[in-house]
């Protein structure tokens, strides 16, 4: 997940053999221009994504323009903070990467269960995120092309995944800075980046 002339969101979703893979549980589209990747307790992520969607639509209605990515992130951060301070609810059990393109350009935010939100060039969450972050700090630079970033994203997931061959457990989405639209990668595109990744970094 990172920024060049677009943003790449990539997650690993392990799927049982008879599960229908069409419904992603970890990458969500909030609005045309904003996507969320989640790590942790998925049902909580869904609730927060729904709240982000309402916030985003409400922003369109009220101000007649799309919501800033930072506004969406701050809204989710304030919400998760509230769930840590008040009795009668439990804190949310999920970390979210909010990525999007707005009039200030593309940006990526990380919201965690404490309610903090921080802006990143590239960030990883979930199990193995320390290893991936290390890898990204060594290999990522923000002047890469979208395709180079996609290759790096695939490699990042292979790094910590048990299954280092197939692509069925890879889900990726791109938000293009010009188009300002989130688009999920097809399985063909993911496969292409997976093989390019193996060329570049080896398959181990």
81 binds a copy of itself (CB under 8 A): yes
Q: Would you say 141 and 130 are in contact if contact means Cβ atoms under 8 Å apart?
A: no
197 binds a copy of itself (CB under 8 A): no
88 binds a copy of itself (CB under 8 A): yes
Q: Radius of gyration of the chain from Cα atoms?
A: 17
119 binds a copy of itself (CB under 8 A): yes
Sign (positive/negative) of CA torsion 75, 79, 80, 84? positive
CB of 137 to a copy of itself, least distance (A): 4
143 binds a copy of itself (CB under 8 A): no
Q: Which of 14, 65, 78, 200 forms a contact with a copy of itself (CB under 8 A)?
A: 78
Distance (Å) of CA 11 to CA 16, 91, 123: 16, 23, 12
**The tokens of 190 are what?**
């993911």
Question: Distance between CA 13 and CA 182 in Å, rounded?
Answer: 19
Q: What is the dihedral of CA 125, 111, 89, 41, to 10 degrees?
A: -20
Angle, helix 187-201 to helix 146-160, in steps of 10 degrees: 80
- Name the residue nearer to a copy of itself (CB basis): 121 or 189: 121
Residue that is written with structure tokens 């292409």 in the block: 192
- Name the residue nearer to a copy of itself (CB basis): 42 or 196: 42
Q: Compute the C-alpha angle 143/8/69, nearest 5°.
A: 95
Q: How many residues bind a copy of itself (CB under 8 A)?
A: 47
Site track 34-63 with a copy of itself (rule: CB under 8 A), x = hit? -------xxxx-xx--x-------------
CB of 176 to a copy of itself, least distance (A): 19
18 binds a copy of itself (CB under 8 A): yes
Q: Which of 14, 114, 164, 199 forms a contact with a copy of itself (CB under 8 A)?
A: 114
Question: Distance between CA 14 and CA 137 in Å, rounded?
Answer: 26
131 binds a copy of itself (CB under 8 A): no
Residues at the interface with a copy of itself (CB under 8 A): 2, 16-20, 22-23, 25, 41-44, 46-47, 50, 70, 74, 77-78, 80-90, 92, 107-108, 114-116, 118-123, 133, 136-137, 140
């Amino acid at each position: 997940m990172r920024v060049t002339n677009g943003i790449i969101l990539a997650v690993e979703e392990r799927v049982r053999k008879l599960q229908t893979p069409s419904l992603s549980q970890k990458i969500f589209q909030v609005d045309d221009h904003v996507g969320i990747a989640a790590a942790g307790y998925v049902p909580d992520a869904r609730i927060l994504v729904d709240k982000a969607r309402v916030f985003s639509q409400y922003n369109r209605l009220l101000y007649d323009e799309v919501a800033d990515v930072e506004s969406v992130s701050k809204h989710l951060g304030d919400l998760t903070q509230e769930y840590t301070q008040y009795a009668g609810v439990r804190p949310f059990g999920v970390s979210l990467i909010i990525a999007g393109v707005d009039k200030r350009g593309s940006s990526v935010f990380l919201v965690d269960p404490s309610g903090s939100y921080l802006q990143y060039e590239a960030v990883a969450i979930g199990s193995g995120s320390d290893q991936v972050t290390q890898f990204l700090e060594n290999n990522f630079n923000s002047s890469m092309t979208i395709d180079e970033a996609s290759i790096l994203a695939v490699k990042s997931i292979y790094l910590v995944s048990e299954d280092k061959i197939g692509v069925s457990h890879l889900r990726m989405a791109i938000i293009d800075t010009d188009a300002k639209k989130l688009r999920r990668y097809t399985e063909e595109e993911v496969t292409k980046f997976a093989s390019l990744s193996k060329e570049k970094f080896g398959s181990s």
